C-alpha cells in the first residue's frame, strides 16, 4: 500500500509541476502582451501629441485668417508673423497642459464624455493664458480671435480623440 501511495504522490507531483510550468508560460505570455500593448499605447500617444501640436497651430492661423476677412486691420503680414512666431510655443504649452490633464494616457478606444470634458477645460485654460500673454506682450487681437481659435482648437482636439470611434462606428453600420 505504501508503494501505491508513493506512486500516486509522484503522479500528483508530476501533474503539479506541469501545472506550474503552464502557469509560468501563461504569465510570460501575459507579460509580453502587456509590454506590446504599452508600446502600442505609447506610439499612439506620441502620434496624438504631434497631431494635436499641428492642429493647435492650424487653428490659430485659421482663426487669424477668418478674423482678417471680418476686420482688415488684422490682414497684414505683421499679425500673421506674430501668430506664426508665438503659436508654436503656445502649442508646446498646450501639450504640457494636456499631459497634466491626462489626455495622453488613455487607450484609443476608451475615450468618452470625461475625456471630452477634460479637453474642454484644458482648452479653455490654455486659450485664456494665450490671450493674457498676448495682451501682456502688447498684441491687441479682438476677443473673437481667441473665441474662434479656442473653438477650432477644441473641436480639432476632440476630433483627434474621437476619430477612431467615429470611423469604427461608421464601419459597423455598413
Q: What is the pLDDT of residues 24-49, one digit of tens each?
A: 666 555 455 545 555 556 788 888 89
Indicate the DSSP class of residue 74.
G
What is the torsion angle, in degrees rounded to the nearest 10, for the CA atoms of residue 27, residue 33, residue 38 and residue 42?
160
C-alpha 88, offset from chain centre: 18
Q: For 81-90, how does the pLDDT look when each residue is reduced to its tens digit (9 = 90+)? A: 888 899 999 9
67 within 8 A of 144, measured Cβ to Cβ: yes
Give 59's pLDDT tier (boundaries 50, 70, 90): very high
Decide which of 71 and 91 is more confident.
91
Residues 6+ apart with CB under 8 A from 32: none
- How many CB atoms lie under 10 A from the CB of residue 102? 12
Per-residue model confidence as pLDDT tens digits over 93-123:
999 999 999 888 767 667 788 888 999 999 9
Residue predicted with more confidence, 134 or 163: 134
Q: Where are the alpha helices (DSSP H) in 71-142?
A: 77-100, 113-136
> Which residues have a Cβ under 8 Å from the Cβ of 1 and sit 6 or more positions away?
none
Going 113 to 117 to 118 to 119, the CA torsion angle's sign is positive
Question: For residue 167, what is the enclosing H or E element?
Answer: helix 143-173
Half-sphere exposure of 140 (CA within 13 A, CB side): 1
57's CB contacts (< 8 A; 6+ apart) are: 87, 88, 91
Output 134 or 172, whichever has higher pLDDT.
Answer: 134
Q: Looking at the predicted structure, is the pLDDT value of residue 136 above 80?
A: yes
Residue tagged 482678417 (cell numbers):
68
Amino acid at each position: 500500500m505504501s508503494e501505491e501511495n508513493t506512486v500516486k504522490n509522484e503522479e500528483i507531483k508530476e501533474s503539479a509541476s506541469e501545472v506550474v510550468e503552464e502557469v509560468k508560460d501563461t504569465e510570460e505570455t501575459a507579460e509580453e502582451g502587456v509590454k506590446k500593448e504599452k508600446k502600442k499605447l505609447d506610439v499612439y500617444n506620441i502620434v496624438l501629441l504631434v497631431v494635436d501640436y499641428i492642429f493647435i497651430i492650424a487653428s490659430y492661423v485659421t482663426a487669424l485668417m477668418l478674423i482678417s476677412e471680418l476686420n482688415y486691420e488684422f490682414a497684414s503680414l505683421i499679425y500673421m508673423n506674430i501668430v506664426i512666431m508665438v503659436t508654436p510655443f503656445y502649442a508646446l504649452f498646450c501639450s504640457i497642459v494636456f499631459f497634466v490633464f491626462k489626455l495622453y494616457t488613455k487607450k484609443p478606444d476608451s475615450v468618452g464624455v470625461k475625456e471630452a470634458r477634460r479637453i474642454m477645460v484644458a482648452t479653455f485654460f490654455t486659450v485664456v493664458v494665450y490671450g493674457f500673454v498676448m495682451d501682456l506682450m502688447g498684441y491687441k487681437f479682438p476677443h473673437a480671435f481667441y473665441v474662434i481659435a479656442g473653438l477650432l482648437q477644441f473641436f480639432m482636439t476632440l476630433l483627434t480623440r474621437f476619430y477612431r470611434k467615429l470611423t469604427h462606428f461608421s464601419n459597423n453600420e455598413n
